[in-house]
């Protein structure tokens, strides 16, 4: 087995481990979100039982104001929690040596906790609050004006809320893989590796399978789709050639 193949095996093993860790993380986020829903459920059902309210009347309603306060509080704590969880995972990923026995990355701490766009992850998650309020309020008013059974309106409102969970899951997954790739790239730079090969797993999508095996310069990151699990394999043959 060549050195290159050993590195490939090492990375595939790590991807497997990463996938297991991700599954645990997702389960945690789901259970954490269920707590949020539990706190808000009763308030939602109460609101859904109102009849003949206009938008203005709803805004003046004390129960509605209370609900909004609680919603904001819940989204804030959920976001903080999810943000912490993502940062933990990023730190763990930062310790991975893409080249076994090579450098591990401590400088990674500089950008851990930031999303790819440079926004703190917690802010990114919290941003959903205004949008959630608009969505849930429209559903509530629609339910009232169309005379839906309160249970139906409440269920639709909870579905609106669930958007926050799927958003959190998507951000967690994306940031995790972005961290992994950025760690890989920085380690290759430090080790003087000048190109990487697109490494796709057997069950990757058609696009990624079409990229598999292609080589890119180390300065270039991996441009891919959300939820992609592909990795960057350092190209090492050239170095061993020049060393004789
Ligand atoms: Zn992929």
Q: What does the pLDDT look like over 189-216, one tens digit per residue?
A: 888 899 999 999 889 999 999 999 999 9
Distance in Å, CA 212 to ligand 1 centroid: 9
Per-domain boundaries in the chain: 3-193
Mean pLDDT, rounded, for 146-169: 94
| Residue 148 reports pLDDT greater than 80 | yes
Measured in Å, residue 234 CA sits from the centre of ligand 1 at 17
DSSP E strand boundaries for the chain: 195-199, 215-217, 231-234
8-state DSSP, 120: B
> What are the tokens at 228?
């992609």
Residue 241 has pLDDT above 50, yes or no: no
Q: How far is the CA of 120 from the centre of ligand 1 (A)?
A: 25
Please state whether the predicted TM-score (pTM) of the whole model is above 0.85.
Answer: no
The structure tokens listed for 62 are 């004390």
CA distance 244 to 231: 28
Q: Which residues contact 113 (CB under 8 A, 6 or more apart)?
A: 83, 86, 87, 90, 120, 121, 122
Tell me, in angstroms, the distance from the centre of ligand 1 to residue 178's CA. 12
Average pLDDT of the chain to the nearest whole number:
89
Distance 30 CA to ligand 1 centre (A): 25
pLDDT in tens, 66-108: 999 999 999 999 999 999 999 888 888 888 888 876 666 655 5
Compute, in angstroms, the gap from residue 230 CA to the centroid of ligand 1: 4
pLDDT at position 121 is 85
Distance of CA 239 from the midpoint of ligand 1 (Å): 27
Q: Are 199 and 212 in contact (CB under 8 A)?
A: yes
199 near 233, Cβ under 8 Å?
Answer: yes
Q: How many CB atoms lie within 10 A of CB 45?
A: 16
pLDDT recorded at residue 18 = 92
- What's the gap in Å between 103 CA and the centre of ligand 1? 25
Within the chain, what is the greatest distance between any pair of CA atoms? 84
Alpha helices for 49-149 (secondary structure H):
55-60, 62-94, 121-126, 128-145
- Helix pair 128-145, 62-94: axis angle to 10 deg: 140
Give the model confidence (pLDDT) of 29-59 as tens digits: 999 999 999 999 999 999 999 988 899 999 9
Q: Token digits for 149?
A: 């059974």
Closest CA to 43 of 26, 27, 64: 64
> How far does residue 81's CA lie from ligand 1's centre (Å)?
28
As residues whose CB is below 5 A from the ion ligand 1, the structure lists: 204, 208, 228, 230
Cβ neighbours, 10 Å, residue 53: 17
Average the pLDDT over 137-149 and give the result.
95
Residue 244 confidence (pLDDT): 38
Q: How much is the pLDDT for 58?
A: 93
pLDDT at 105: 60
Spatial separation of the C-alpha atoms in residues 214 and 185, rounded to whole Å:
16
Rounded distance, CA 152 to CA 208, Å?
Answer: 42
């Amino acid at each position: 087995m060549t050195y290159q193949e050993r590195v490939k095996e090492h990375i595939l093993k790590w991807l497997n481990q990463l996938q297991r860790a991700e599954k645990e993380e997702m389960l945690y986020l789901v259970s954490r979100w269920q707590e949020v829903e539990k706190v808000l459920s009763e308030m939602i059902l109460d609101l859904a039982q109102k009849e003949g309210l206009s938008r203005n009347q709803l805004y003046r309603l004390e129960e509605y104001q209370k609900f909004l306060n609680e919603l904001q509080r819940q989204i804030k704590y959920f976001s903080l929690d999810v943000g912490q969880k993502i940062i933990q995972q990023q730190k763990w990923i930062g310790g991975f040596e893409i080249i076994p026995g090579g450098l591990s990355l401590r400088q990674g701490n500089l950008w851990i906790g930031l999303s790819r766009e440079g926004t703190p992850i917690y802010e990114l998650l919290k941003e959903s609050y205004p949008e959630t309020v608009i969505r849930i309020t429209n559903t509530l008013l629609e339910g009232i004006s169309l005379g839906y059974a309160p249970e139906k309106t409440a269920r639709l409102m909870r579905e609106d809320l669930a958007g926050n969970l799927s958003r959190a899951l998507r951000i967690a997954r994306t940031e995790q893989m972005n961290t992994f790739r950025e760690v890989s790239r920085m380690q290759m730079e430090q080790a003087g590796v000048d190109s990487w090969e697109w490494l796709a797993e057997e069950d990757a999508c058609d696009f990624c399978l079409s990229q598999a095996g292609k080589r890119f310069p180390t300065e270039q990151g991996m441009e891919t789709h959300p939820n992609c699990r592909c990795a960057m394999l350092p190209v090492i043959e050239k170095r061993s050639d020049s060393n004789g």
